[in-house]
Amino acid sequence: MSELNNKNGKPEELEEVEELVPESTEGDSAETADLPADQAEPEELSIEAQLEAARAEAAKNLDGWMRAQAEFSNARKRMEKQRAESYINATANVVTQLLPALDDLDRAMNDVPQVIQEHSWLEGITLLQRKLQTILDGWNVKPIQAVGQPFDPNLHEAIMQEPSEEYESGVVTKELQQGYQLGDRVIRAALVYVAE
């Protein structure tokens, strides 16, 4: 038995095995407890990095969405403006074609012979003239005021100048053809005489 036991009272073979396996100490258990924490720390960093990446992507998506909304809004405004311009152009074209007939009707009504002024059909022609003017008013077509107004080359087209005791120089004295405008747009300038 003495061969098997050494001074510690343990067999020599077991003593060698114990030397190979270190005894656990409190410091060792702390290191092993810290090991999963060390491994968790990179995971936390990766989660934080993922969170930052997700936030960056969300900001990018929000920016793209806001740009798309702005582009859509601009496109809608552009389409509405084009639609309004198309309406004005179409109305101006129709009015331009109606104006010569309206001019002829106005001239005819201004030169009605005294003999037929009592006829009832003349009242029908007068109603027709008023209806045409009502249609023009509905389209926002207004006659341009000329006589007594200062000459404006944007609204008036001067045929000639004439001396006038009634009006100052540069004021419209006579209107040869009525001018019309659609809103602020001149459809046809008034043909006028201007005082010298």
pLDDT the model gives residue 10: 52
What are the sequence ranges of the domains in the chain? Answer: 141-196
pLDDT the model gives residue 24: 46
pLDDT at 63 over 50: yes
Share of the chain above pLDDT 70, in %: 77
Report which listed range, 10-19, 121-130, 149-158, is most confident.
Answer: 149-158
pLDDT at 25 over 50: no
The secondary structure of the chain as a DSSP string is: -TTTB-TTSSBHHHHHHHHHSPPP-HHHHHHHHHHHHHHHHHHHHHHHHHHHHHHHHHHHHHHHHHHHHHHHHHHHHHHHHHHHHHHHHHHHHHHHHHHHHHHHHHHHHHT--GGGTT-HHHHHHHHHHHHHHHHHHHTTEEEPP-TTSBP-TTTEEEEEEE--SSS-TTBEEEEEE--EEETTEEEEPEEEEEE-
Domain 141-196 has CATH 2.30.22.10: yes
The model carries a pTM of 0.58
Question: What average pLDDT is seen over the chain?
Answer: 81
pLDDT interval class at 181 (50, 70, 90): very high
Please state at what angle helix 120-138 crosses helix 26-110, rounded to 10 degrees. Answer: 160
Q: What is the rounded average pLDDT of the residues 143-154?
A: 91
| 66-75, 120-129, 186-195, range with the lowest pLDDT | 120-129
Q: Residues 36-52: pLDDT tens digits?
A: 444 444 445 688 888 88
pLDDT at 29 over 60: no
pLDDT the model gives residue 122: 86
Do the beta carbons of residue 195 and residue 162 sit within 8 Å? yes
| Rounded Cα distance, 107 and 152, in Å | 25
pLDDT at 60 over 80: yes
Share of the chain above pLDDT 90, in %: 49
